[in-house]
Structure 1
Amino acid sequence: MDIKKLLWVPIIVFVFGTHSSCQNKKPSIDFDNLSESEKRKSENAMSSMKVAEGLQLELFASEPMVTNPTNLAIDARGRIWLCEGRNYRLFANPDNTYDDKGDRILILEDTDGDGAADTSKVFYQGEDVNSALGIAVLGNKVIVSKSPNVLVFTDEDGDDKPDSKEILFTGMEGEDHDHGVHAFVFGPDGRLYFNFGNNGKQLLDKNGNPLKDIYGNTIDNSGSPYREGMAFRCELDGSNIEVLGHNFRNPYEVTVDSYGGLWQSDNDDDGNRGTRINYLMEYGNYGFKDLLTGENWRERRTGWHDEVPKRHWHLNDPGSVPNMLQTGSGSPCGILVYEDTLLPEKYHHQLIHAEPGHNVVRSYIVEEKGAGYSAKIHELVKSEDDWFRPDDVAVAPDGSLFISDWYDGGVGGHKAEDIAQGRVYHLSVKDGYEPPKFDFKTAKGAKAALLSDNMDVFYQGWQKLHSMQEEAEPILGELIAQGGIAKARALWLGAQINSKTGDYVELALADTDSKYRVQGIRMARYLLKNKLETYLSQMVNDASMQVRREVTIALRHLGTPKAAELWAELAKKYQGGDRWYLEALGIGSDVYPNLYFNAWKSAIRADWKNLAGHEIVWRTRADASVPMLSEMIQDKEVSKEILPSYFRAFAFKEHPQKNHLILDLLRTEHPLNNQISALAIGQLDEDFVNSSRKNIGIVKSVLPKIEGTAEWLMAVKNLGLKDQNEPLLRLVSNTEADGDLRKEAAGVLFGYGGKELVMSHLKSGIEESKKMELLGIIGNINDSSAITMLVESLDEEEFDGPLKKRVVEGLGNTWDGRHRLYEMLQNDDLAEEYKTTAVLKLMNSWDAEIRANAPKYLTGSETAEWNIETLIEQKGDALAGKEVYDTYCSSCHRAGTTGIEFGPALTDIGNKLSKQSLYSSIIYPSAGINFGYEGYTVKMKDGKTYVGYILSQTEDELALKMMGGTQTTIQLTNIEKLEAMNQSLMTQGLHKVMSQGDLINLVEYLTTLKVEEEIVASN
């Protein structure tokens, strides 16, 4: 057994709840036989719904009462508060005719208990809440999350109108975008929890000053120490802020259970089937970008996963917290922990989640597994209507659920198909809706409120009991005796009685149930920092791995010799094979790695050469782990599968002799010598190698043994080895090698003056199929000599028609190539049979002149504008549409194993977009640009221009992905101007040059691209 076991991701069963037809108020309508326009009507909404057994669904509100709800909250009176997003991304929705007063915060109420809203009032309206993505109602306070601000409204007199508006936090980017700040949650400890996506970038105080967390770290995404999306905790007034986890892409909401456990979902880069559900081990890195460099997950690294969903989150890296559940494609949104009792028992204490990408509301049934968790899925509500876009769920005072429905043909950063529709559903076990009443002025009423799963009810009960201090103890005693969440919530309150904190912490730590012992550690961390080390000493030998996980994390910021001893004891207890426990050890030691690791090393002496010891060495950042890692690699019993992950670990470690130790591995006598040599070269520092002729000689002596590997190419490129053109050509021509590796090698080859060598090879009599393959690779290189070679090859008599067509396609893949191709059209230098291919490629040019004029060179091209409402009623031929896709789309998009990965993958587009949205995306591509695919023009100081989207950017360089899938790294000092494009990289509607029949067939094919999800969890 070895570390590869840690990276293993088993399949988790995807459990479908037994569905019944919606039992309440469902019309006897066959939804499948409705026209597309009839399906959009609210009176037909219930006919599309399937609901889990034992539950009933009602349409609570719909348009025109509600439009585009983005988030909801439910107050203590049972009223529904909604943020509307009718003004969402106005630049993408120019037909929006909403007035200039801005979006609304609505209050909906069912006054007669029939399960439908009959009154609606506007709490607030303004442009400062346009498309707000979060709302929390806490007594007379309403917290609204709308980047760049978090706003706190106060209704002092209870007239449902705010008497004041204040800024709690500001500075977050992501305005008019769903990757900014999200909803706030009131936790059982009396603190606030929230998060933002990877466009939030920073957190400032209300005056615009940078904020530091309680450990002195500036809260921004610079990598020192935090990256990308983050989750936070703070006091009610915004003070004492902590970053609880970072390096997420776009976590829509965070939720906290009664014991203090944190959970959230996270969205992948669209089309990569990597959406996930996370249990948040506090202070963890969650792996969206490279932790060290900030590079995109697509950037090649040693030991990455073959499967993109796993590669996406850097799960091969030491220091990436595993995912509890990977849910494939989707657009994960609102999430909660259901701790009420109204719904069937199997949903008690489980996660409930809105997944608009798949038109479903799910429950995740979570179980403890070692130091972490596993999960299964049950579906609560599933709609046959692909416009059903549930984006939030909330618990009402009676324990029932409300679901907000954005209701649109698309979801996420796309053009809104409709700005006037939106719905709210009520999910319960019975007809109607009659929320209970609570008396928050009495201790008895506060006790009842404390047990509610409705946030506002719970908050008001908590505040009352907290204000009572010692007088609340009799009630807290009753709640503790009751057990369950009553006990957990009472323990939190008891620990905040000023004179009794220690008593309640010790009560929790002594409990026979590990959930309360975990809670006790969290209570001690928060409230008794001065005694924390003593409490942790008592818990270090706990039988529960969950408790020991929490003890380990709690050691992170102590940094004392005693803390090091405790960490060493916890590490000694590790048996190996549990990635959750291993990452907890890493999180616990990362601030003081040398102190903690050396204590463990002294304690175990030579007894570390086993699975657990190897894994600890792999994960820990300590200097002393570097020679030990080298020793592990030299072990004759080491497996070839584990070696890449061992070498990847070097990147996360520092040691004065690290490069010397790695260089020595090149000369190691070992059964896996070639693999070790290849991996070692990939980890050597360029300056170190070039500092010595001896070092360069050693490297060059190894190169022939590892030729064609990614590490070999890395060495050739980094060290400027221009005598390697022949082997570079062999790699580029090797059809069995990785495609991205071949493109990268081609770029190096032409950069090293390999043009004549390549042309000679093409004319050498090799098979036609190999010429075609090689030209396809070269066509993805934005190198002037490569483009010149392609242009010259059009005059070569040895090249037949199909080869020259491939050349034209290649020229249309790059910025410089497109300009040369356009010049050829202008000068009539291109044969007639290649003009159609040329025009199709040039229609996607980023140059406005080329884009507008290229179709003129195609005889008989169509330029008609078609009515989408008419098109969606047409039935096409999916098989014929596949051929259209291959012609028009595959040069920029991948569907399954077909096409080039440049724009968003289309493998699951049939789940994500409705037929109307598919037509809209094709005809109006610039109206809805996926986040992360915004185009940039990069003008260089040497006169060159690059166009593409930015994969990653560090302090020194940016990585740009260009048409055809080509990637290039650009030094920031060499850039003259970096400009964001105001149009999609897919700049021209393809309907301009295809027939109406082809367009209909294409969309029919795209609707079939739906993936049966493989739900997986990390261990």
Structure 2
Amino acid sequence: MRRNKAYWLVGLTLTALGLLLPAQAGAVEGEPGDFQPPEIRVPAGFSVELAAGPPLVSHPTMACFDEQGGLYVCNNAGVNMSNEELEQHLPNAIHRLVDDNGDGQFDSFTVFADKLTFPMGGAWHEGALYVASPPNIWRLRDSDGDGVADERKILVSHFGYNGNAASIHGCFFGPDGRLYWTDGYHGHEIKDEQGKVTSKRAGSYLFSCRPDGGDVQIHCGGGMDNPVEVDFTDSGDMLGTVNILYTRPRQDCLVHWLHGGAYPHRRQVLSEIKATGDFLTPAHSFGHVAVSGMTRYRSAALDPSWGDNLFTTFFNSGKVVRLSLQRQGSSYGVSQNEFLSSPSREFHPTDVLEDADGSLLVIDTGGWFYRGCPTSQFAKPELLGGIYRIRREAMPSVTDPRGLQIAWAKQTEVELTQLLNDSRFAVRQRAISECAARGQDILETLAATLSNGSPRTRVHCVWVLSRLVQQAGLAESASELLRPALSDAAEDVRQAACAALARSVRGVDTAWLVPLLQDSAAGVRRQAATALGMLDRREALPHLLSALDRESLDRPEEHALIYAMIEMASPQAIRDALRALPSGQPSLPQWRGAVIALDQIDGGQLRLAEIELGLESADARSRKVAADIAQRHPEWLSPIANKLENWLESGQWSARRETIESLLAIYLNQAEVAALAGRFLQEQQPPEVRELILRVIAGGGSLTPHDSWLKPIRQQLSSADEEQVRQAMSAVLALQGNAFADALGKIAEDEEYSLPLRVEALAALTRQAGSVSDDTLEELLDIYQDSASPTAARRAAQILGQARLSPQQLKHIAPLLEQAAPVELRDLIAGYQRTTDRDVGQAFLVSLAKNPALLSLAEYEVSDVIKSYPPELLGPANRLLDRLKEHEQQKMSRLQDLRDKLHEGDAMRGKIVFNSEKAKCSSCHRVGDQGLRVGPDLTTIGGNRAASDLLESIVFPSASMVRDYDPYKILTADGRVLNGLIASETQQTLELQQANGEKMVLHREDIEQIVPSSVSIMPAGLDEALTEAELLDVVAYLQSLK
């Protein structure tokens, strides 16, 4: 066996007295001489030591232990690659680290598995390592004990990824004996051994399977960006970390992942997932931190009160936090406490795990990663990572923490069950597996232990049985043994027993579980409902329906009850149960649960009459449920139109505003409802009703206007009331054709209207007409060149950049490029990327070269415009790009000078600059309740971004995009090129958030191409528009936002 040895000449122990000083690195054979562990701060009474550094690891990310104490570390090569590049080069590996002398510092390593794409986690089980390395879930086995895997098997495939780490993570071994893993938002297509597709979806999901790769199941899923790690409570609940559960503002969260749960934020996943109402919500929100690794603390070595606390890593802010869980209804409340931090901006913790002695290992990956990472604007692979051990001072040593001195094979069944209550958590976990391996022989002993063991012993007996009930030959006997656990005095035991029975392949009597729907503990009730659904016990439907009427019902318990009905997939049984209710009429909670289930069951054939109760209800939640369901049933058009007419005519529109808007939006492209909308646009209708109709039209995207809309909209466009005009103009922007061109032209020419309104009329006119008349062009030029309003001039530049101008018109406006200010220049050049005309290209290059503001543009902003120009223009084009490259190098040098002066910034002055017309920061970013939500919300940005990171993001805004704020370039069928963020999507439409704050709804049939852009919508050059002092002040202000 070839092993790599590292000799630690100096033990690196940092003792924390509230604040740690930087460690002096000990020399390591083969270690880069300049490797310096970062300063790490932990609470007083704790210590930090370097457990592994180079060469044992270079860029470690995630890790797990085997039963012998070997540490399997996903070690990255320090490269940022796309999925295609990763599969071509296979640059990454898994190292197996060994602590030869038990002093807590790893001494040697083998490369357990090389030539991997991007391994992210692992779980050791029965002699094999189970690893998520996209696009596959792998089983890696070392059959000859040399520390190198010689057996590799793909268990599950295929999962999408793009190289930015938002893909599959894991695996994680569940207490029920199944393997679990998470998957980021890149879709999957899983096939069985015969090549048949068993699951194909676009969303983000959490999966499980048997250790042999069989019986792949989806646990839950949704539209979140990147679920990372999960762990399980003793009662069987799964909690985990996830990035971008919500957006605008971004929220990274801790989630209680429920069976069958549908989670935010992309609503288009609702077409591929069974939802029980609104998206489920998180247990705790961290803000924007790039949450990563997580572990449940199972021992008491660090603090006796910390048992079952969670430890979680924050990549962005370089922290590890401790989370205390409290039962809250059927889920959890969470209290967050900072545990570990570092002032070093290059400290990026990616995982935390508990060693068998109760110490914690924290993994720092170093400075290499930047794909989608806002705190790492540039890859710095030379900044290596390490693994750090956290101990409590004077922490008692644990004898044989992994039970290696136990003769496991010689233990009697009684002795094995006694080890289920061992003080060493690693021994307890191994005892569960060893007991399960005894099969039939252990059953009698488990029965006795369940009746007289400690609560911890009893719950672990349940998890042993949870594995046995999945074996056909043992399921009936093991299920029978679980029956007494359902009435155990301990809540955790009862809940775990429900979860175990849910996995049984035979022998479960429905009557065992039904009484637990009325248990005193909400978590037990929730899990009993889940079990009934997983077991498909349709005879329990009346009891599920009855349980929905509980006054204290919370959303997780409600979800479990409704999802159980969906899983049973018996519409007739649901209708029979409704008719059999003692009252003869369902309560609103019962009605909501029943109609949601009927709507979600394939072939449920829900009828409009069955949602009448909700549509007519005074209860807002019931009305919303009914309206949401109606959206999925276009066959209800006529009766819904009649209802809308009655509500509008009878004056009920005020109390039912949200329901009416939702239903109108669904059917507005149908002639019957379009005509109805036209009736209520007429001048004699109440202004509030007209506003409601116009708002629905404005939100409808690219609609063909109904004839009945034309006259009332034209009338409102001619109003002297500017607010009335704006309402009508918003609707016009969503309509196809140029039916309103004359009215818009009159507004643009009428100096009685305010200049901003006239500019918006020109914007609407150019969008409606497709092309731009010479008269309209001159009006825009007049506003741009002569306006005393910088805002109006900027808007005119945006319109010119987005308009479809002819080659002659582009040449005509080219001189504007010579004098345009940096912000307007960026808008104006956009119009030149659609042309291949030589003369236009020549005029563009000549004019742009004369503008000193050229250097405010990034090289890629110009190269994107000129990449399709004729070959004869390559000479002047490359000269422009060379100037930009040289300027980029100068900015890099200036960046270091500015870093040295960051302490000079003043936050109070920076707030003034941030909100000024000069900086325009608040025109895109929100702080508190001020500013627009175009870019990321900055309300707490200082809490998770270092000052240097903030400075870099201003100087080089496109170096790394914040996830979920990825820019796109969209080419429309009518020739427009639009740039912005995709704010939301449905199957039919896409909402584009443009840099000017304007949102535009586009129908997919009107889109020719969607291309990811390398250019951030945050403009480059802000650092040069501001003085050095102003820039430092802005950074100081952002740093103060915590």
TM score, norm. by length of structure 1: 0.80
State whether residues 41 and 341 of structure 2, in contact with CA within 8 Å, keep that contact through their aligned partners in structure 1: yes
**Is residue 411 of structure 2 the alignment partner of residue 443 of structure 1?**
yes
State whether residues 292 and 652 of structure 1, in contact with CA within 8 Å, keep that contact through their aligned partners in structure 2: no
Q: Please, which runs of 5 or more residues in structure 1 have no aligned partner?
A: 1-20, 32-39, 213-217, 222-227, 296-312, 1012-1019
2:654 is aligned, of 674, 679, 683, to 674
**Is residue 926 of structure 2 the alignment partner of residue 871 of structure 1?**
no
Deviations 1:458-483 (Å, cap 9, x if unpaired)?
A: 66544332222243357646864443
2:487 is aligned, of 497, 500, 510, to 510
State the distance in 2 between where 1:700 and 1:782 align: 21
Q: For residues 128-167 of structure 1, what are the structure 2 equivalents within 5 Å?
A: 128-129=116-117, 131-167=118-154
Alpha-carbon offset, residue 161 of structure 1: 0.9
2:434 is aligned, of 454, 461, 464, to 464
State whether residues 697 and 731 of structure 2, in contact with CA within 8 Å, keep that contact through their aligned partners in structure 1: no
**Is residue 863 of structure 2 the alignment partner of residue 858 of structure 1?**
no
Deviations 1:466-502 (Å, cap 9, x if unpaired)?
A: 2222433576468644434432222221354526312
2:913 is aligned, of 877, 883, 890, to 883
Q: For residues 540-939 of structure 1, what are the structure 2 equivalents within 5 Å?
A: 540-556=517-533, 562-572=539-549, 574-575=550-551, 578-591=554-567, 592=569, 594-604=571-581, 612-613=589-590, 616=593, 619-622=596-599, 626-627=608-609, 629-635=611-617, 638=618, 645-646=624-625, 648-651=627-630, 654=633, 657=636, 660-661=639-640, 663-668=642-647, 672-676=652-656, 679-684=659-664, 685-686=666-667, 689-691=670-672, 705-709=688-692, 710-711=695-696, 713-714=698-699, 720-721=705-706, 722-723=709-710, 724-726=712-714, 729=717, 745=731, 747-748=733-734, 752-766=738-752, 768=754, 771=757, 774=760, 784=770, 791-796=777-782, 801-803=787-789, 806-812=792-798, 816-817=802-803, 827=813, 829-830=815-816, 834-842=820-828, 847=833, 856-859=849-852, 862=855, 863=887, 864-867=890-893, 868-875=895-902, 877=905, 878=907, 879=909, 883=913, 887=918, 890=921, 893-896=924-927, 900-939=932-971
SS in 2 for 1:380: strand
SS in 2 for 1:252: strand
State whether residues 395 and 453 of structure 1, in contact with CA within 8 Å, keep that contact through their aligned partners in structure 2: no
Deviations 1:145-204 (Å, cap 9, x if unpaired)?
A: 121122221111222111111212222111422111001111121111111111243334
State the distance in 2 between where 1:479 and 1:854 align: 86
SS in 2 for 1:178: coil
State whether residues 950 and 960 of structure 1, in contact with CA within 8 Å, keep that contact through their aligned partners in structure 2: yes
State the distance in 2 between where 1:81 and 1:582 align: 41
Is the alpha carbon distance of 1:118 and 1:362 closer, same or farther for their aligned partners in structure 2, counting shifts above 3 Å? same
State whether residues 333 and 391 of structure 1, in contact with CA within 8 Å, keep that contact through their aligned partners in structure 2: yes
State the distance in 2 between where 1:346 and 1:527 align: 35
Aligned AA for 2:165? D
State whether residues 561 and 595 of structure 1, in contact with CA within 8 Å, keep that contact through their aligned partners in structure 2: no
- In the alignment, which residue of structure 1 is the partner of 2:1015? 984
Aligned AA for 2:746? S
Query: Which is worse superposed, 132-141 or 607-616?
Result: 607-616
**Is residue 170 of structure 2 the alignment partner of residue 193 of structure 1?**
no
State the distance in 1 between where 2:674 and 2:828 align: 49
State whether residues 567 and 596 of structure 1, in contact with CA within 8 Å, keep that contact through their aligned partners in structure 2: no
1:49 is aligned, of 21, 41, 48, to 41
- In the alignment, which residue of structure 2 is the partner of 1:284? 261
**Is residue 51 of structure 2 the alignment partner of residue 60 of structure 1?**
yes
- In the alignment, which residue of structure 1 is the partner of 2:76? 85
State the distance in 2 between where 1:198 and 1:234 align: 20
State the distance in 1 between where 2:1002 and 2:574 align: 38
Alpha-carbon offset, residue 244 of structure 1: 0.8
- In the alignment, which residue of structure 2 is the partner of 1:12? none
SS in 2 for 1:515: helix
State the distance in 2 between where 1:567 and 1:769 align: 62
Is the alpha carbon distance of 1:380 and 1:1005 closer, same or farther for their aligned partners in structure 2, counting shifts above 3 Å? closer
Aligned AA for 1:149? N
Q: For residues 340-419 of structure 1, what are the structure 2 equivalents within 5 Å?
A: 340-408=299-367, 413-414=372-373, 415-419=377-381
State whether residues 196 and 251 of structure 1, in contact with CA within 8 Å, keep that contact through their aligned partners in structure 2: yes
State the distance in 2 between where 1:821 and 1:993 align: 32
1:258 is aligned, of 214, 234, 238, to 234
Aligned AA for 2:645? L
State the distance in 2 between where 1:694 and 1:991 align: 50
- In the alignment, which residue of structure 1 is the partner of 2:218? 243
Is the alpha carbon distance of 1:627 and 1:452 closer, same or farther for their aligned partners in structure 2, counting shifts above 3 Å? farther
State whether residues 957 and 971 of structure 1, in contact with CA within 8 Å, keep that contact through their aligned partners in structure 2: yes
State the distance in 1 between where 2:914 and 2:486 align: 65
State whether residues 861 and 994 of structure 1, in contact with CA within 8 Å, keep that contact through their aligned partners in structure 2: no
Q: For residues 426-505 of structure 1, what are the structure 2 equivalents within 5 Å?
A: 426-430=389-393, 436-438=401-403, 439=406, 440-443=408-411, 460-473=430-443, 476=446, 480=450, 481-497=452-468, 498=474, 500-505=477-482
Query: Which is worse superposed, 709-718 or 360-369?
Result: 709-718
SS in 2 for 1:984: coil
Alpha-carbon offset, residue 894 of structure 1: 1.5
TM score, norm. by length of structure 2: 0.78
Is the alpha carbon distance of 1:718 and 1:83 closer, same or farther for their aligned partners in structure 2, counting shifts above 3 Å? same
- In the alignment, which residue of structure 2 is the partner of 1:1001? 1032
Alpha-carbon offset, residue 633 of structure 1: 4.7
Deviations 1:584-643 (Å, cap 9, x if unpaired)?
A: 2221223437335424422336565766456546755456685465445545xx36x658
Higher relative CO (CA 8 A, sep ≥ 6), structure 1 or 2?
1
State the distance in 2 between where 1:270 and 1:716 align: 22
State the distance in 1 between where 2:232 and 2:661 align: 45
Deviations 1:255-314 (Å, cap 9, x if unpaired)?
A: 22233211112211666242222112201111322257669xxxxxxxxxxxxxxxxx99
Query: Which is worse superposed, 764-773 or 482-491?
Result: 764-773
Q: For residues 300-311 of structure 1, what are the structure 2 equivalents within 5 Å?
A: none
Q: For residues 304-343 of structure 1, what are the structure 2 equivalents within 5 Å?
A: 318-343=277-302
Query: Which is worse superposed, 56-65 or 335-344?
Result: 56-65
State the distance in 2 between where 1:373 and 1:821 align: 63
State the distance in 1 between where 2:493 and 2:355 align: 26
Query: Which is worse superposed, 81-90 or 920-929?
Result: 920-929
Aligned pairs, how many? Answer: 939
Alpha-carbon offset, residue 1004 of structure 1: 1.9
**Is residue 91 of structure 2 the alignment partner of residue 102 of structure 1?**
yes
1:177 is aligned, of 133, 149, 164, to 164
State whether residues 171 and 180 of structure 2, in contact with CA within 8 Å, keep that contact through their aligned partners in structure 1: yes
Aligned AA for 2:462? L
Is the alpha carbon distance of 1:835 and 1:994 closer, same or farther for their aligned partners in structure 2, counting shifts above 3 Å? closer
SS in 1 for 2:180: strand
Is the alpha carbon distance of 1:631 and 1:534 closer, same or farther for their aligned partners in structure 2, counting shifts above 3 Å? closer
State the distance in 2 between where 1:906 and 1:854 align: 37
State whether residues 983 and 991 of structure 2, in contact with CA within 8 Å, keep that contact through their aligned partners in structure 1: yes
Aligned AA for 2:401? P
Alpha-carbon offset, residue 682 of structure 1: 3.3
SS in 1 for 2:177: coil
Deviations 1:547-586 (Å, cap 9, x if unpaired)?
A: 22223233436666523223223234x2266222222222
Flag the structure with larger Rg: 2
Aligned AA for 2:411? A
SS in 2 for 1:77: coil
2:67 is aligned, of 67, 76, 84, to 76
Is the alpha carbon distance of 1:149 and 1:516 closer, same or farther for their aligned partners in structure 2, counting shifts above 3 Å? same
State the distance in 2 between where 1:743 and 1:63 align: 63
Is the alpha carbon distance of 1:712 and 1:491 closer, same or farther for their aligned partners in structure 2, counting shifts above 3 Å? same
